[in-house]
Amino acid sequence: MYKIDKTSNQLRWVILLLAIAVVLPTVCLLWFMTQAVKNERLAVRQKLIDVYKTEIEKKFSELDSKLEIQARYSETLLQNRPLPDLWLEFIHPGSSIEPYRADGLILYDPNGSCIYPTHLHTYQDNSEFQNDFDEAWQCEFAKHQLKEALDRYKDIENNSDDPVNKKQAIIAQARIHNKMDKIDEAIHLAGKAKETGHGDKGQIAYLRADAQLMYTELVHQKASKENQYIPKFTAALRNLLSTISNYNTGSGVLLDIPSEQRIFLANKAMSLYEQSKGILTESLNSRVERVRKLQAAESLSLQIAEKFPTTLPFKNWSDRTLNKLPQTNIYAAIYRIDGKTAIRLTKQDNIILAFAGDLTYTDKKGNIFSSNLDCQILDAQGAHIYGIKGTTAKPFLKTEISKFLPDWTIELYFKDANVFENAASKQAAIYTWTGVLVVLLILGSGAMATQVIGKQIKLNRLKNDFIATVTHELKTPLSSMRVLVDTLLEGNYNDQQQATEYLQLISKENLRLSRLIDNFLTFSRMERNKQAFDIVRTDPAEIAKAAAEAVQTKFNEKNCKFTVTIADNLASIMADKDAMVTVLVNLLDNAYKYSYDDKQIQLRVFGEEDFICFSVKDNGIGMTHRQMKKIFDRFYQADSSLSRQAEGAGLGLSIVKFIVDAHKGSVIVDSQPDKGSTFTVTLPRATRRKIRAEETSS
């Protein structure tokens, strides 16, 4: 008992040391791998932040350079250019700084008063013909005496030397002819009134613009009815659009027209264009678009100028910087040169459009932001300017934009919250797979070591059991034989019959020993692959009879019923007769050993298709499914204790399997606990080809 406990303790220590040798390196490796992946993610995060920060700073540096050029250019214009040039360079869509085109412009004089845009002028009526105009006006609008009003306007035109009176009278006559449905006369008079005179300015310019609009509308009436007027209308509309967009005092007069009148003219011109696009003889899209932008700029500038008529609200503003106007969604940059002040206006919605590609990060394909990024741009007051709105996410990068946009910030967000994990996944995957492979290697090595040690322990146990079994199997018959021999030598027997019985017992034990030794020798030859078989054409019935005869003496006991059934006309087989007899004898011995006191053993030989079957059936203890899987293993015994009733060394069935396999047959086991077992050996029939081959070999 002490030796067994000592061996068991040693085995437990070996298993514990193996477990430590496997588990400890595995745990350490997993910890290092986790730390490596974590550090890789942090490193990738910092790399990504640095990349985007570098790109953003580069973009903003370019933006600062462009805004610096724009600011210097704007200050140069304000210092050296007249009002029309200022307006065109800031507002006109064809200007040299189109990417930074303003949405509006307000100009102030050195006293801080607004000088542009302007409201409608109020001209004093000091004309000597003022009473005549009043009387004509009464006839036209109050009394509806159009003929008398027309005569009075003609008298004013003919008798007055003032160009303003003459142009007013001509326009009035055209208006009355239109009311009298004399369109041709009205067109003639409106055309006369719209003609430009030398040095036209002030009220003359104002009236000439009205006359040009009237002329265009009258020609449009004719063109809608008579196709020959379409070219004339197209030319009139083109000239009207050109006049509206012309701010040069040298070739036009619109500079002297108030902003409100200019807006009115632009709206009328664009309305005429929309009504007549289908009949125009040439495309005026570019001119209309030009006027539309100028009209929008005039409207915005006039709206803001009404709210800020002086520069007092901008007293504390820094030059060149973009600031939000109070109570509006308009941003303004202020420029001050030589006492003059210019306020450059930009709508909130157009800020990003105005600085497209500069305020935002662009990827290599030119897309505003990469597909993985979201951004948010905030002004100095924290108002949302561009990008996602109302996000609760935390930006991975937040930085100021430009010195020209004080306290403006841009915040960058990753659309995918796992972007750092995704970016680090490749390297992390390398670490992970490396760790997994090493862990598997460690576990595999540990498993192999455990398997080897387990096999060694099992082998040692089998060897010990084998030695004990062999000792028991040899000692029992030798002891019996020695007692019987001593009895015979001493003459301790009653008569010759008893002596004969003793000799028969000695013969039986000797046969048992011989069979056991034969099994050892067969097993030894199996192990060394030295077993040779004399395979010839054999009658299966002879094999069965020889096996039955070999066990007949043992099976003739009263408690054993042994039956042999051999089918008629069995085909011959190619087999080693002695070896096959050994197979059946081993199976019959096992059936005898593992059966109850009332033993019932059957040996059947029969044919089945192309095979001959040898079946050994008993009513013994049977086997479990697990035992049937191991029954052909060497040294395996269902009952391995030394106190078992069955004899043997656990080699019989392994020898059976070896011999049957050598004959290219098979062994099938059918067994249930306490219901007995059936072993069926199946061998192929001898074919003519095999018989001919055997005869040729002989």
CA dist 298 and 263 (Å) reads: 7
What is residue 368's predicted lDDT score, i.e. its pLDDT? 46
Name the pLDDT band for 251 (thresholds 50, 70, 90): very low
Q: Of 545-554, 561-570, 635-644, give the lowest mean pLDDT range.
A: 635-644
- Does 657 reside within a domain? yes
What is residue 641's predicted lDDT score, i.e. its pLDDT? 45
Domain count, the chain: 3
Average pLDDT, the chain: 78
CA dist 113 and 685 (Å) reads: 126
- Does 237 reside within a domain? yes
Give the count of beta carbons closer than 10 Å to the beta carbon of residue 365: 7
CA dihedral 160→164→165→166, nearest 10 degrees, is 70
Q: 156 and 259: one domain?
A: yes
What is residue 358's predicted lDDT score, i.e. its pLDDT? 59
Q: 305 and 342: one domain?
A: no
- Does 431 reside within a domain? no
- Does 216 reside within a domain? yes
CA dist 356 and 263 (Å) reads: 29
One-letter-per-residue 3-state SS of 138-186: HHHHHCCCHHHHHHHHHHHHHHCCCHHHHHHHHHHHHHHHHHCCCHHHH
- Of 400, 417, 434, the last residue of a domain is 417
Q: 269 and 378: one domain?
A: no
- Does 460 reside within a domain? no
Beta carbons of 346 and 363 less than 8 angstroms apart: no
- pLDDT tens, position by position, 425-442: 666 667 677 767 777 777
Beta strands in 372-430, from DSSP E residues, in sequence order: 373-378, 384-387, 397-402, 405-414
- Does 294 reside within a domain? yes
- Of 381, 396, 417, the last residue of a domain is 417
* Residue 51 CA, distance from chain mean position: 22
What CATH number has the domain bearing residue 238? 1.25.40
Name the pLDDT band for 542 (thresholds 50, 70, 90): very high
Report for 161-165, 486-490, 516-520, 693-697: range of highest mean pLDDT: 161-165
The residue among 543, 540, 539 whose CA lies nearest residue 578 is 543
Q: What is the mean pLDDT of residues 222-247?
A: 88
What is residue 425's predicted lDDT score, i.e. its pLDDT? 65
Q: What is the mean pLDDT of residues 262-283?
A: 88
**Enclosing domain of residue 692:** 532-697
Place of tokens 């030119």: 366
- pLDDT tens, position by position, 592-648: 888 878 889 999 999 998 899 999 999 988 888 888 888 887 666 665 443 344 455
Q: Of 23-37, 49-63, 661-675, give the lowest mean pLDDT range.
A: 23-37
- The token duo for 238 is 């083109």
What is residue 101's predicted lDDT score, i.e. its pLDDT? 73
Q: 136 and 223: one domain?
A: yes
Q: What is the mean pLDDT of residues 284-288?
A: 89
Q: 208 and 285: one domain?
A: yes
- Does 600 reside within a domain? yes
Q: 222 and 301: one domain?
A: yes
Q: 305 and 335: one domain?
A: no
Q: 233 and 178: one domain?
A: yes
CA dist 26 and 18 (Å) reads: 12
Cα within 13 Å of Cα(63), Cβ side: 21
Does the pLDDT value for residue 454 go beyond 80?
no
- Does 501 reside within a domain? no
Q: What is the mean pLDDT of residues 312-332?
A: 86
Q: 153 and 65: one domain?
A: no
CA dist 163 and 157 (Å) reads: 9
Q: What angle do CA 407, 413, 417 make, to 5 degrees?
A: 155
- The token duo for 125 is 């009526």
pTM score: 0.52
Q: 286 and 406: one domain?
A: no
Q: 56 and 145: one domain?
A: no
Beta carbons of 230 and 281 less than 8 angstroms apart: yes
Who's near 570: CB < 8 A, 6+ residues apart? 539, 540, 541, 605, 606, 607, 612
Q: 177 and 301: one domain?
A: yes
CA dist 262 and 109 (Å) reads: 22
- The token duo for 426 is 């490749």
Residue 336 burial (10 A CB sphere; 0-12, 13-18, 19+) = middle
- Of 397, 417, 437, the last residue of a domain is 417
Does the pLDDT value for residue 254 go beyond 50?
no
What CATH number has the domain bearing residue 682? 3.30.565.10
